[in-house]
Amino acid sequence: MPQGPYPAYQPMYQPPHRHPSDYLKSIVSDMILALAVVVGLFLIWLGSLIAGTADTSDGMQWGTGVKSFGMLALTVAFILGAMLRHDLEKWVRVALLVSATLLIIFVGYWAGFWMWSVGLF
């Protein structure tokens, strides 16, 4: 009978360490990020079109809401892409964060809300 280590004394297998964001990479794949950006840009365009051609204040408010939802989708796609995609180049991720920040600062989500609250709509 060969002498050798007992199976109970073998070191236990430990899987390689993975970042928690690695589990979410399938959620923010390239295709889903591209789709979110396209949908966000489409909703921004559609909301601007609706608000620009509306005759009533309700139509303008509805268009501004669609535009705000498009801005939300676009900035969420940029932020998730920058935070969760470690396989992207560092400067691409920085550009995504800066782009999302600039969109929030200069375009903003609630521009229509502030116009409505001061009576411009």
Domain ranges of the chain: 26-117
DSSP result, 92-106 = HHHHHHHHHHHIIII
Contact 107, 73 (CB under 8 A): no
In the chain, which stretches have pLDDT less than 70?
1-11, 21, 109-121
Query: What does the pLDDT read at residue 15?
Result: 74
Query: What does the pLDDT read at residue 2?
Result: 56
Q: Output the CA–CA distances (angstroms, integers) from residue 81 to 26, 29, 43, 67, 117, in the order listed.
A: 11, 8, 19, 21, 34
- Per-residue pLDDT of 17-31, as tens digits, reads 777 767 777 777 888
- Full-prediction pTM beyond 0.85? no
Query: What does the pLDDT read at residue 9?
Result: 63
Those residues whose C-beta lies under 8 Å from the C-beta of residue 85, and which sit 6 or more positions away, are 25, 28, 33, 93
Contact 32, 81 (CB under 8 A): no
Query: What does the pLDDT read at residue 36?
Result: 93
